[in-house]
Amino acid sequence: MRTQVGIVGAGPAGLMLSHLLHLRGIESVVLESRSRDHVEHRVRAGVLEQGSVDLLCRAGLGERLLREGLRHEGIELRFAGESHRVPMTELTGRAITVYGQQEVVKDLIAARLAAGGRILFEADAVRLAGLDSDSPVVHFRRDGREEELRCDFVAGCDGFHGVSRRAAPEGALTTYERTYPFAWLGVLAAAAPAVTELVYAHHDRGFALYSMRSPEISRLYLQVAPDEDVAAWPDERIWAELRTRLETVPGWSLTEGSILEKSVTPMRSFVVEPMRWKRLFLAGDAVHIVPPTGAKGMNLALADVALLADAFAGWYDRGRADLLAGYSATALRRVWRAQHFSWWMTSMLHRLDRDDPYETKVQTATLRYVATSRAYATSLAENYVGMPEV
C-alpha cells in the first residue's frame, strides 16, 4: 500500500490530520489498532478551547458541535466553604465548549469516510522502518496478515503506549516527566447536571470536579490514591464522597443517578523533545501528556496537527522544508505553556501532602487571590480558554 502521509492512530490527532490533509489535496492512510466502535465510544476529554472549536468549524466539522456542544463562559472555584466564579468570556472575549472527545472522533470518522478517506481499523502497527530514508514503511498486522504501508512521511498519533515514539533511535529524543502522588476516579452518571458550568473544588479530603457531557449526563471526578482499586468504590461510596467534597455551598446539592462508567486515571506530566525524528513526526499523547486539571490534552493534539498539516502543505505545494523543520520548536512553545498551566492548576487544587498544613494554607491563599484579583483571574481564564498564539 502506498500513500503520501502514513498516520498511526485514529484518535483526534490522527483523524484531524488526515482530514486537514484531505482539504489540502494530500493523501493519507490512517491505521488504528482498535475497532471503529471502540474509538467512537472511548470516553476521554470533553473541553474544547475556543481555538479548537474555530479549527473544527473552519474544517467543516462544526454543525453538530455547535448544535449539541455546551458553551461555557466561566468556571466555578469552591474552597474553604466559599464559591467564586471566574468569568472567562468577560475577561478574555473567548469561551470553552463541552463536547466529548468521542463525539469529535465520530464526526471526524464520518467526514473522512464520506470523502473516501482510508481508515484501516483493527490494523495494529508493529514496526516503523526507513524513517531516515525518503520512503519510510509502517509494518502492520490486519486479519492475521502482515502488511506494509509505504509513504513519504509518518505521523505518529498513536498515544503514549504506541509504537511511533519508540521507533526513534535511543538517545534521539529527550524525555521530561513528572508523576503525581494521586489519581482521578472518574465516573459517568445518568444524572442531569446540577450546575451550568464546571466546578473545581479544593477540599481537605481531596480535589473534586463537577463536569458534564450533555443535559442528561454528568461527568464527575474525585482525587484518589494512585493505586486505588476501582472495585473498592461502589456507587453509594462515590456519591457520598462527591457530596462531602462538592456540597460546601449552602442550599446547593448534587443530582444523583445511576453510574454508567467508572475508572481510575493516574496523573502525569510528560514531554518528549524534539517532536520529530527524520521522516517521523509525533503529535498528541504520543509526545506529550498533561494532567487533565487544565483541560489541555485534546486541545494540544488538535493544535499539533494544525501546525503539521500546514507544514506538509508547504512541502507538497511549494517545496518548502522550513515548516517541517520548525514544527517541533513551534509546537513545543504551546506544549510547555500548557504544561505549566496544567501543573499550576493541579498544584493549586489537589491535596499534595495531607500532613502539611502550610501547603494547604498556601493553596487557599492562591485560590483567594484568583477570586479577588482581576489580573490573576484573567491569567487563569486566558490559559483555560486557550491563547491564540504562544
What are the DSSP calls for 94-109, one per residue? --EEE--HHHHHHHHH
- Which residues make beta-bridge pairs with 128? 138
- Write down the catalytic residue from 12, 19, 22, 72: 72
- Write down the catalytic residue from 291, 292, 316, 350: 292
- d(C-alpha 215, C-alpha 211), whole Å: 11
pLDDT of residue 189: 96
- d(C-alpha 278, C-alpha 297), whole Å: 25
Residue 280 corresponds to which cell in the numbers above?
517521523
| 105-110: long-range contacts, CB 8 A cutoff, minimum separation 24 | 105/10, 105/11, 105/12, 105/15, 105/39, 105/40, 105/42, 106/40, 107/56, 107/61, 107/64, 107/65, 108/12, 108/15, 108/16, 108/18, 108/19, 108/61, 109/10, 109/15, 109/36, 109/39, 109/40
**Category of 28 on φ-ψ map: left (φ > 0), alpha (ψ -120 to 50) or beta:** beta
Class of domain 2-72+95-177+268-346: alpha beta
From the list 223, 240, 144, 132, the residue with the least C-alpha distance to 182 is 223
- d(C-alpha 268, C-alpha 43), whole Å: 19
pLDDT of residue 336: 97
pLDDT of residue 57: 98
pLDDT by 10s per residue, the chain, length 390: 999 999 999 999 999 999 999 999 999 999 999 999 999 998 788 899 999 999 999 999 999 999 999 999 999 999 999 999 999 999 999 999 999 999 999 999 999 999 999 999 999 999 999 999 999 999 999 999 999 999 999 999 999 999 999 999 999 999 999 999 999 999 999 999 999 999 999 999 999 999 998 899 999 999 999 999 999 999 999 999 999 999 999 999 999 999 999 999 999 999 999 999 999 999 999 999 999 999 999 999 999 999 999 999 999 999 999 999 999 999 999 999 999 999 999 999 999 877 788 999 999 999 999 999 999 999 999 999 997 764
Query: Domain residues of the chain, as ranges?
Result: 2-72+95-177+268-346, 181-266+353-385
- Write down the catalytic residue from 180, 200, 221, 327: 200
- d(C-alpha 16, C-alpha 20), whole Å: 6
Please give the torsion angle defined by the CA atoms of residues 121, 127, 131 and 133, in that order, rounded to the nearest 10 degrees.
-100
Contact 75, 85 (CB under 8 A): yes
- d(C-alpha 15, C-alpha 344), whole Å: 30
**Angle at CA 303, nearest 5°, toward 167 and 329?**
60
Q: Is residue 43 packed enough to be buried (19+ CB in 10 Å), middle (13-18) or exposed (0-12)?
A: middle
- Write down the catalytic residue from 296, 316, 327, 350: 296
Task: Please indicate whether residue 316 is annotated as part of the active site.
Answer: no
Residue 256 has φ and ψ, to the nearest 5°, of: -100, 160
pLDDT of residue 45: 80
Contact 331, 312 (CB under 8 A): no
Contact 294, 223 (CB under 8 A): no
Residue 237 has φ and ψ, to the nearest 5°, of: -65, -40
Task: Please indicate whether residue 215 is annotated as part of the active site.
Answer: no
pLDDT of residue 43: 79
From the list 38, 10, 74, the residue with the least C-alpha distance to 384 is 74
| H-type alpha helices, the chain | 12-23, 36-40, 50-58, 63-68, 88-92, 101-114, 235-246, 297-318, 322-349, 357-372, 374-385
Instruction: Describe the strand order of the beta sheet including 276-277 as a list of residue ranges.
Output: 118-120, 28-31, 5-8, 153-156, 280-282, 276-277
Task: Please indicate whether residue 358 is annotated as part of the active site.
Answer: no
For residue 78, the one-letter residue type is R
Task: Please indicate whether residue 384 is annotated as part of the active site.
Answer: yes
Packed helices 322-349 and 297-318: angle between N→C axes, nearest 10 degrees: 170
Contact 20, 13 (CB under 8 A): no
The CATH number of the structural domain formed by 181-266+353-385 is 3.30.9.10
- Which residues make beta-bridge pairs with 210? 199, 220
Task: Please indicate whether residue 200 is annotated as part of the active site.
Answer: yes
